[in-house]
Every structure is written in structure tokens, then in C-alpha cells.
Copies of this chain bind each other. A is one copy, B any other.
Amino acid sequence: MRLEYKLKQKSKRNMARLGEFTFNGQVYETPMFMPVGTNATVKTLAPEELKEIGCGIILANTYHLHLHPGEDIVSKAGGLHKFMNYDGPILTDSGGFQVFSLANPKDITEEGVHFKNFENGDSLFLTPEDSIKIQMKLQSDIIMSFDECVKWPSTREYIEKSVERTLRWAKRGKDVFNNPEQMLFGIVQGGDFEDLRRHCAEELVKMDFDGYSIGGTSVGEDKPTMYKMVSYATKYLPEDKLRYLMGVGDPIDLIENVMRGIDLFDCVSPTRLARHGHAYTTHGKINLKNSKYKEDFTPIDSECNCYACQHYTKAYIKHLINVNETFGARLLSIHNISFLTNLMKEIRENIKNDTLEEYRDEFIKKYYGEGYEYK
């Protein structure tokens, strides 16, 4: 049951695009935001809640699942879908981001990457072939090439070498990939160098992947730089394939990057912010730990119709967060994921009408207030 992407409509004013794919008999529309379920669970939530929110693809992390419970157990369980009881599409990352966050540059060799297991200090070695084989065992629907996610800023010299290695790794992974039910994406790196992004994109396109990701963003760069990195890549990617911007979830970044040709986003923010008591609202992010919400018996966002906003007040959720009750994080997770899911729905409607730029300007005014500048 392989997912098939169809491009439906393109903006005449920017690179935004509407698309859809069918999976398990259900049609999903892009652009789409994908919540992260690192350990084969979107923190605090049940699959039924994700469906009620209107989520489509969810993400799981290969590195974490490799450590616990291990891909063999997931495989014996019948794959990730059966293991975690989610019949919507699942995407796995490759462990490449953990190269960025857990390994030192000297741990990265041509053959693969040496990690320290973050729990017990054990040595781990992961190759591009291992990553693909693990992801095949996990039986996710979209899998990622193993890449090096380079920190920002990095020298041109380092990124040049890293891009070449990422391309060789992409090829090695593709050579062992043989599951016709999955899609394999190549990952465009290249930092903030236009020619390196272009080179990486073009070489990956020659290898003919099922879709393309853009990596090496959300690693410390400012917003204008992120947007440039995305533009540098998307213009060299084929229109009939999905494009996925990895690890990006700030509301304004979703709008801006859709305008630069992105179809898929993922980010831990909605659930992580929830655990810290933060909520997105139409009028910006709020922190429910703030004492001003103590007697605020209104919903998180009066314009939101999610389960949390229908039945609970800020005062109650604030109380739950104060006394460390996980139902608080659960309600905020439902709300935050709903917020981004609804945002994507509005984005799609505005692509249909080709009014996304006006929508962005209105969104900024409401969310950040007048006079907002990207930084």
C-alpha cells in the first residue's frame, strides 16, 4: 500500500502548491503538518485523538526506536502501524538529525557514524545502509536517507565535503532499499550556500528518489536565512514529488515555506510547548503558567474548536500544569496540534484562492501584532 502523490494546483504568485495522496482508502491533502511520535506515540495522545484533530502523516524516530524497543520487535509486532495502532501514514526519519545533535564531527566517518547511546554511554555505529534496513523493518510509509545535518553557521569547506558524503550516503541507502510499499526520500543539504543546495538537489534528483526533504534548517539560523535555504533547494526539485522541510513548525515558518514550495512539515514544538504549559493562539503564543490566567474561565483560543477549547478553561488547564497533571499536557497537545493542523487547512484554502500572501500578512498582524520583523 504505497502512498501516491498527485500535484493538484500551483499558485501563480509564488511556489505554493496543493496536492493530495491516498493511503489506506483515505485521501489526504498537502501542504500538511506532521506531529512527532518519537517513541511510536505522539506524547500523551491516542491515535483516535490525532484522527479527530485531522492529522494525517505522523512521524516516528528511527534512532529512538532502534534503541527501544528495537526494530526487530516492531517488525515482529507487524510493523509500526500495528504496533502503535495508527492506520494513517507514518514517516520515519533516518537518525541523521541525531548525527547533528549527539555525535561529534570526529565521530562521522565515510562508513557511518559513531554515537554514544544517550542512556547508558554504550558505543553505537550506524551506517546509511543500517538506517534504511531499520526503517524497512519498522514498516513506515515514508523513509529518509541517512544524511549529515550540519550546524549553522558552518564553513563552506566543511559543508562542501559534507554534501558530497551525504550524496554518497543517499546512494548507498538507495542501493539497499527494496521495499515497494515504502517511499524513500533524499535529503537536500548545503547550508546557506545557494550553489551547494542546488548541487545537492540536482544530484539527488538524478538518483530519482520518491520525494525530497530539506534538512539543515532549524539549527540556529535566523528566519530569512532559513527561507533562503528552502528557496535554494525547492526550485531544483521536480514538481510531481513531495517536498518535506524537516523540523520546522513555527506557525509563520509554515506559511512562508509553503510559499517556497514545501508540502510537508514536522516539529516537536506543539507537544513540547504543551508540556511546558504553552499554547498557540490566534493572537500569539501564551504561557499558561502566567498568574493572569488563574481566574480566566475562557478557552485557550476562542476561535479554536478543538476538544480542549470546547470543554476546558485556561484556569483549569493552568491548574493541571501547576500540579504536574499530565492531562494538562494532553489538553495543550491536542490544542497545539489542532492549531497547526487548522493553520495548514487555512493555508490550503488560501492556495486554492491564490490569496496566501494576503493571508500571511493578516496572520502576522494577529499573531505578532503590527510592525513585526522576521529575525
| A interface with B by C-beta (< 8 Å) | 39-41, 43-46, 64, 68-69, 73, 76-78, 83-85, 294-295, 297, 311-313, 315-316, 318-320, 322-323, 325-330
Q: What 6 A-B pairs have minimum CB-CB distances, sorted nearest first?
A: A69-B319, A41-B327, A85-B311, A39-B323, A326-B326, A41-B325
List the B residue with the shortest CB-CB distance to A312: B85
B295 contacts A73, C-beta separation under 8 Å: yes
Bound: A44/B333 CA distance, A: 13
A76, B46: Cβ atoms under 8 Å? Answer: no
Among A73, A83, A315, A316, the one with the most B-chain Cβ atoms within 10 Å of its Cβ is A316
Nearest chain B CB to A104 CB, angstrom units: 25
B43 with A84: CB separation less than 8 A: no
Nearest CB in chain B to that of A65: its residue: B319
With A73-B315, A76-B297, A326-B44 as contacts: A320 and B85 at CB distance below 8 Å: no
Of residues A64, A84, A325, which shows the largest number of chain B Cβ atoms within 10 Å of its Cβ?
A325
23 contacts between A and B (CB under 8 A): A39-B319, A40-B316, A41-B327, A44-B44, A45-B327, A46-B330, A64-B323, A68-B322, A68-B323, A69-B315, A69-B318, A69-B322, A73-B294, A73-B295, A73-B319, A76-B295, A76-B297, A77-B316, A83-B315, A85-B312, A326-B326, A326-B329, A326-B330
Q: Which residue of B lies closest to A327 (CB)?
A: B41
Instruction: Kindly state the separation between the CA atoms of A101 and B326 in the bound complex, as whole angstroms.
Output: 24
What is the oligomeric copy number?
2
Distance (Å) between the CB of A110 and the closest chain B CB? 32
- Extra inter-chain contacts (15) besides given A73-B315, A77-B316, A83-B313, CB under 8 Å: A39-B319, A39-B320, A39-B325, A40-B316, A40-B319, A43-B325, A45-B327, A46-B327, A64-B323, A68-B322, A69-B318, A77-B315, A84-B316, A85-B316, A326-B330
Among B43, B69, B319, the residue within 8 A (CB) of A327 is B43
Per the bound structure, the CA–CA distance linking A196 and B325 in Å amounts to: 40
Query: A101 CA to B363 CA in the complex, in Å?
Result: 53
Docked Cα-Cα span, A313 to B78, in Å, equals: 12
List residues of chain B with CB within 8 A of the CB of A312. 85
